[in-house]
């Protein structure tokens, strides 16, 4: 049985850890609220922009050649794994790494793979692989703004239009709620037509100025950048939700461990008192 000093030190250590996890939970909760507000506000805008683009494109009758929607043989794939910069958020980062590896093994076997990591954990993973890595945009989460994300989106779009890659895929966590994040592996390029029948039946007859082709030329890149930015916001909100849940669970576990340690401390203390009494009684009997 451990002595009193060791048990007391363990109790003190666990209490300090519990205070840290509580503080981290509170910080994550505050950040989550802001990140959740951003993604909730972004979703309707992104969906409406996509709907308008699909309606205009469907009615164009080939008037505009959308360079981001071409179908060609896929030889090179650019995968964009989106993780966080820090750990202590449960399986948030490891799930993205697993999903990336699974996509490479199952969907893109025998294809040339290039990686565009977003987040420091994704960068660490990418550098351990044998694939070509573009690390210029790994620190996007240090300042989650549209301007920073736009640079990464433009790189992916330029790589596709120049023929450097034939497909671009995003791997990220979609935010559902504080306790639930859904892993998404979405094709970013080439663009895919919406399969939602409801949207097709609600097509709108737009009056476009100066021309339909010009509008599509301007609207398509903007829509793609918004889609990329939305994935970043989804991941950002998911990260704080995952960390908040992980720290809440860690705080609960620390509380349970404290109960066990305090019980052990009391038992050890009682055993030490009993031994002292027995020694005193034995000494008194020996003197008598």
Residues with catalytic roles: 89
Of 133, 163, 200, 136, nearest to 68 (Cα)? 163
Nearest-angstrom CA–CA distance, 15 and 21: 10
Residues 6+ apart with CB under 8 A from 234: 39, 172, 173, 174, 175, 184
Sheet bearing 167-177, strands edge to edge: 132-133, 112-115, 76-81, 167-177, 180-189
The count of other CB atoms within 10 Å of the CB of residue 131 is 13
The torsion defined by the Cα of 35, 39, 41 and 46, in degrees rounded to 10, comes to 150
| Residue 31 three-state SS | helix
Residues 6+ apart with CB under 8 A from 146: 225, 229
């Amino acid at each position: 049985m451990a002595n009193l000093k060791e048990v007391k030190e363990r109790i003190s250590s666990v209490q300090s850890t519990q205070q840290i996890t509580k503080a981290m939970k509170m910080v994550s909760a505050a950040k989550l609220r802001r990140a959740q507000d951003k993604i909730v506000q972004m979703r309707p805008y992104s969906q409406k922009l996509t709907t308008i683009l699909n309606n205009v494109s469907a009615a164009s009758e080939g008037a505009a050649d959308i360079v981001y929607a071409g179908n060609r043989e896929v030889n090179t794939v650019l995968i964009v794994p989106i993780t966080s910069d820090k750990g202590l958020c449960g399986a948030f980062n490891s799930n993205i790494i697993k999903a990336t590896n699974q996509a490479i093994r199952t969907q893109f076997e025998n294809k040339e793979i290039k990686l565009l990591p977003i987040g420091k954990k994704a960068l660490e993973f990418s550098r351990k692989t044998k694939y070509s890595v573009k690390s210029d945009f790994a620190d996007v989460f240090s300042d989650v703004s549209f301007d920073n994300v736009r640079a990464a989106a433009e790189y992916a779009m330029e790589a596709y239009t120049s023929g450097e890659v034939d497909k671009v895929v995003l791997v990220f966590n979609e935010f559902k709620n504080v306790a639930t994040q859904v892993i998404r592996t979405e094709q970013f390029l080439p663009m895919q037509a919406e399969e939602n029948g409801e949207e097709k039946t609600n097509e709108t007859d737009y009056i476009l100025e100066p021309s339909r082709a010009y509008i599509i030329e301007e609207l398509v890149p903007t829509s793609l950048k918004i889609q990329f930015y939305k994935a970043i916001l989804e991941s950002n909100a998911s990260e704080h939700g995952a960390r908040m849940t992980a720290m809440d669970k860690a705080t609960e576990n620390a509380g349970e461990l404290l109960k066990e340690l305090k019980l052990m401390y009391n038992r050890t203390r009682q055993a030490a008192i009993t031994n002292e009494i027995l020694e005193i009684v034995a000494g008194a009997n020996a003197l008598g």
